[in-house]
């Protein structure tokens, strides 16, 4: 019994972080729905971020951004945001971890497709037109990729009993089977 417990504890100690790292990225909720554009810069006055932000503030570019089902993630000074709403430190770290970036002091601009794969990765300044062209050149299957909506769940109507009856008691939990000794 002791050997089994130690083996299980050791296995969970090594495999636990691997399971925790899967599916904890904020990008997972956009998979199949939108194309994340991620800007990672060391400061809020980084020239790459400033020029891209200025381009996105123009109405025509903003419309093109939304027409292409894009969502903007920024990581500035290690503070993450998704479309202007703050991400927590764990979500920001998970976002950076999911991109599998190497160390570097340069700013990065990354476009992720609806399928969750990187479509464009640039270090330094990038024109918004280059990003739009990359989206427009994607294959038709990626452009139409969408997560199917879950089927609506029907709620069971409560059964009406006779007047004056009490609802039944919940069933007693069953006793777990006994473990054999080693």
What's residue 136's pLDDT? 86
Q: What tens digit of pLDDT does each residue of 15-45 get? A: 445 444 445 778 888 788 888 888 888 888 8
In 30-117, the DSSP E strands lie at: 35-41, 70-76, 79-82, 85-86, 108-112
* Residue partners of 3: CB distance under 8 A and separation at least 6: 182
Beta strand 79-82 with 70-76: parallel, antiparallel or unpaired? antiparallel
Q: What is the pLDDT of residues 69-104, one digit of tens each?
A: 889 988 888 888 888 888 888 988 888 888 877 666
* pTM greater than 0.75: no
DSSP string, 13-29: HHHHHHHHHTT-SGGGG
Domains (range + CATH), the chain:
18-136 (3.40.30.10)
Q: What whole-number percentage of the chain has pLDDT above 70?
A: 68
Give tens-digit pLDDT for 120-138.
888 878 888 888 888 888 7
Q: How confident is the model at residue 147 (pLDDT cuts 50, 70, 90)?
A: very low
Q: Strand ranges (DSSP E) for the chain? A: 35-41, 70-76, 79-82, 85-86, 108-112, 118-123
Q: What is the pLDDT of residue 21?
A: 47
Q: Beta 79-82 vs 35-41: how paired, if at all? A: unpaired
Q: Which two tokens stand for residue 93?
A: 């770290």
Q: How far, in Å, CA of 26 to CA of 72, rounded?
A: 12
């Amino acid at each position: 019994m002791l050997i089994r417990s130690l083996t299980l504890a050791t296995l969970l100690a090594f495999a636990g972080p691997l399971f925790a790292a899967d599916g904890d990225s904020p990008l997972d909720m956009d998979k199949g729905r939108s194309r994340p554009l991620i800007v990672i810069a060391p400061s809020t006055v980084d020239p790459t971020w400033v020029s891209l932000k200025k381009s996105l503030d123009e109405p025509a570019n903003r419309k093109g951004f939304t027409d292409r089902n894009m969502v903007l993630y920024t990581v500035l000074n290690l503070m993450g945001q998704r479309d202007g709403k703050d991400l927590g430190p764990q979500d920001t770290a998970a976002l950076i971890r999911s991109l599998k970036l190497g160390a570097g002091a340069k700013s990065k601009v990354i476009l992720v497709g609806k399928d969750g794969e990187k479509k464009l990765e640039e270090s330094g300044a990038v024109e918004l037109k280059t990003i739009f062209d990359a989206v427009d050149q994607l294959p038709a299957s990626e452009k139409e990729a969408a997560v199917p909506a879950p089927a609506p769940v029907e709620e069971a109507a409560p059964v009406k009993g006779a007047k004056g009856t009490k609802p039944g008691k919940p069933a007693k939990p069953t006793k777990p089977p006994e473990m054999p000794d080693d």
